[in-house]
């Protein structure tokens, strides 16, 4: 529990150097700080959590493949020994560009430069019922909530002889056919095939239905046609029910309504159908477009002189990327490095070459030995070679050696034993009143 508000203070010492405030400890914020020359700048990082999350593997935490500490690392450890760097675990409440300050529960802090790297949040397109009843997958908390929910459902299914109720319990719907939807669908299919029948021999898991709903005409719309087609075929072979060219238009916690009028009974909707920028109060509306901050080719927010945006929240329109860069880790990493490296040049009004994104390709895994890859300059392939590349890349970009070791050990164990050992219901969880599984197992809302 936090102390009373009037006893809090930010406790940031003056340094005589220009102060850079970074909001968000994701990939963008992380790599910005690593590149800032603290000989010339004081760096202050604000994040509402004290750890960095490797978001591409959240779905494995949610499906019992990994424990959360395998994909997260303490921010203080990352920046141990950094001089004139200060981390404060606080949520930034608002920004005042006129006064060059940010506001937190512990008080306000002035900045000379502000770097916004707080990423995206789930976009429910204004549908409060879907937001209230479905499961987003943007944080470790989200992943743990979903994992508890899924494990409770299987326990609940094991308790009931009502076939209609059991069918509803064992129907899982994923909204959104991007990488998160595809990878989660594949992980659930393998859980259904290899793990759950051993845990619950009294349940026929051939009756478990997994739907993947995508509004576009194909899966992985941000990747190549070949990748989308390959993932579609692989998922269908794995027993995933695909619904294309339609979207989830309503969900009351018990029944999904699709835009085409079809209804599906289910207690579980996993939402990855859209994202929106986590826009802070105080940022001007003219700086925004489609929920993201418009920037020039130096990552500077248009209309400002000392505010930068990096990563998913930045919308930099270029000839190669007229709709902005893809919302994946690499643009955030490269933007962060660019701004951190050139901040001293910006401070001295020295001309800097525009940011140039180097596309290292796109990957998505579908299951054991199944993945798709789009690699430069024009390589598109799938299967086991793509899967090995996916494994290597994801191990490489984890935050620490400990994380890499934990993930590698878990993956090796899962590969040879067909067993995901993280199926503990540590804290029962309930998302909505109509799903009584949480109440049965002692969950609080």
Residue 302 in this model has a pLDDT that exceeds 70: yes
pLDDT digits (tens, 9 = 90+) for 387-415: 999 999 999 999 999 999 999 999 999 88
Whole-number pLDDT of residue 8: 58
Whole-number pLDDT of residue 1: 43
pLDDT digits (tens, 9 = 90+) for 31-51: 999 999 989 999 999 999 999
Residue 2 in this model has a pLDDT that exceeds 70: no
Whole-number pLDDT of residue 442: 64
Residue 383 in this model has a pLDDT that exceeds 70: yes
pLDDT digits (tens, 9 = 90+) for 248-277: 999 999 999 999 999 999 999 999 998 888
Residue-averaged pLDDT of the chain:
92
Active-site positions?
Answer: 183
Residue 208 in this model has a pLDDT that exceeds 60: yes
Whole-number pLDDT of residue 434: 64
Q: Average pLDDT of 338-358?
A: 96
Whole-number pLDDT of residue 294: 96
Q: Average pLDDT of 53-62?
A: 96
Residue 134 in this model has a pLDDT that exceeds 50: yes
pLDDT digits (tens, 9 = 90+) for 156-180: 999 999 999 999 999 999 999 999 9
Q: Quick one: three-class SS letters along the chain? A: CCCCHHHCCCCCCCCCCCEEEEECCCHHHHHHHHHCCCCCCEEEEEECCCEEECHHHHHHHHCCCCCHHHCEEEHHHHCCCCCCEEEEECCEEEEECCCCEEEECCEEEECCEEEECCCEEECCCCCHHHHHHCEECCCHHHHHHHHHHHHHHHHHHHHCCCHHHHHHHCEEEEECCCHHHHHHHHHHHHHHHHHHHHHCCCCCHHHCEEEEEECCCCCCCCCCHHHHHHHHHHHHHCCCEEEECCCEEEECCCEEEECCCCEEECCEEEECCCEEECCCCCCCHHHEECCEEEECCCCEECCCCCEEECHHHEEECCCCCCCCCCCCHHHHHHHHHHHHHHHHHHHCCCCCCCCCCCCCCEEEEEECCEEEEEECCCEEEECHHHHHHHHHHHHHCCCCHHHHHHHHHHHHHHHHHCCCCCCCCCCCECCCCCCCHHHHCCCEC
Residue 305 in this model has a pLDDT that exceeds 70: yes
The pLDDT confidence band at residue 290, using thresholds 50, 70 and 90, is confident
pLDDT digits (tens, 9 = 90+) for 191-201: 999 999 999 99
pTM reported for the whole predicted model: 0.92
Residue 3 in this model has a pLDDT that exceeds 60: no
């Amino acid at each position: 529990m936090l102390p009373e508000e009037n006893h809090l203070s930010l406790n940031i010492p003056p340094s005589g150097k220009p102060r850079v405030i970074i909001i968000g400890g994701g990939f963008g914020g992380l790599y910005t700080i690593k590149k800032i020359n603290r000989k010339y700048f004081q760096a202050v990082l604000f994040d509402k959590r004290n750890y960095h999350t490797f978001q591409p593997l959240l779905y494995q935490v949610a499906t019992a493949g990994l424990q959360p500490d395998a994909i997260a690392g303490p921010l203080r450890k990352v920046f141990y020994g950094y001089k004139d760097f200060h981390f404060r675990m606080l949520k930034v409440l608002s920004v005042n560009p006129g006064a060059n300050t940010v506001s937190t529960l512990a008080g306000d802090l002035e900045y000379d430069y502000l770097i916004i790297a707080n990423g995206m949040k789930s976009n429910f397109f204004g549908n409060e019922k879907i937001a209230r009843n479905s499961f987003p997958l943007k944080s470790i908390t989200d992943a743990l909530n979903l994992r508890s929910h899924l494990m409770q459902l299987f326990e609940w299914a094991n308790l009931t002889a009502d076939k209609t109720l059991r069918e509803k319990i064992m129907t899982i719907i994923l909204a959104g056919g991007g990488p998160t939807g595809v990878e989660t669908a594949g992980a659930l299919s393998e859980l259904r095939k290899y793990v759950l029948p051993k845990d619950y021999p009294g349940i026929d898991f051939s009756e478990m239905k997994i739907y993947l709903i995508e509004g576009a005409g194909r899966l992985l719309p941000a990747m190549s046609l070949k990748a989308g087609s390959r993932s579609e075929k692989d998922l269908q072979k794995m027993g995933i029910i695909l619904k294309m060219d339609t979207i989830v238009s309503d969900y009351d916690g018990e029944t999904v309504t699709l835009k085409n009028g079809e209804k599906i009974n289910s207690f579980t909707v996993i939402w990855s159908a859209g994202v929106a920028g986590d826009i802070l109060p105080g940022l001007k509306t003219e700086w925004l477009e489609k929920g993201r901050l418009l920037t020039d080719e130096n990552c500077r927010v248009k209309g400002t002189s000392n505010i930068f945006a990096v990563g998913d929240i930045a919308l930099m329109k270029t000839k190669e990327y007229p709709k902005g860069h893809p919302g994946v880790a690499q643009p955030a990493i490269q933007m962060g490095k660019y701004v951190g490296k050139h901040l001293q040049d910006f401070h001295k009004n020295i001309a800097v070459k525009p940011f140039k994104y180097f596309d290292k390709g796109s990957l998505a895994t579908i299951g054991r030995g199944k993945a798709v890859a789009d690699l430069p300059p024009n390589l598109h392939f799938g299967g086991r070679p793509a899967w090995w590349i996916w494994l290597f890349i994801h191990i490489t970009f984890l935050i620490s050696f400990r994380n890499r070791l934990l993930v590698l050990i878990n993956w090796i164990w899962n590969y040879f034993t067909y067993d995901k050992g993280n199926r503990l219901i540590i804290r029962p969880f309930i998302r909505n009143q109509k799903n009584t599984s949480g109440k049965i197992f002692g969950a609080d809302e």
